[in-house]
Amino acid sequence: MAGNCMCNEAGVLIFPCSGGSDVGELSDRVARKMAKCGQAKMFCLAGVGAHIPGMIESTKAANKIIAIDGCQVLCSKKILEHAGFNPVSFNLKEMGFEKGKTQLTEEIIEKAANKISGGKSEETFSRNSGGCCGN
């Protein structure tokens, strides 16, 4: 049976740093929101960092790879680069979200998601853009 087929186009894969700080959590929440809205598929940065062959090969199938980092350390971007990928990088700090001073409200998550997808939606998310669901 071909139910639950996973052979659809990989599209845009999004890797948040999901770090321990408030902005790390924000990166994760933003990625989940964008995935829920169909703008990208969330993927496992830890799996890439661990060089799990299945994760690496699945990432190679992506049309575009997005890294979302909470701060200027850019762990997600660097992990992906270390694995041989060339992600489009977004740094939440550069978007005005300060470590230790960012509250995880729906409004903030929405704002960050819009900053990442907004303006670049056609270029960055052209292969897999379903627009935002507005939730």
Interface mask toward another protein for 57-86; x: CB under 8 A: xx-xx-------------------------
Query: Which residues on neighbouring strands pair with residue 89, listed in sequence order?
Result: 67
Q: Judged by CB, which is closer to another protein: 54, or 100?
A: 54
Residue with tokens 């903030």, as numbered in its chain:
108
Rg (CA), the chain: 14
Q: Which two tokens stand for residue 6?
A: 């996973």
HSE, side-chain direction, 13 A CA sphere, residue 104? 14
CB of 106 to another protein, least distance (A): 28
Among 3, 20, 100, 134, binds another protein (CB under 8 A): 3
- Interface with another protein by CB under 8 A: which residues? 1-7, 10, 41, 43-44, 47, 52-58, 60-61
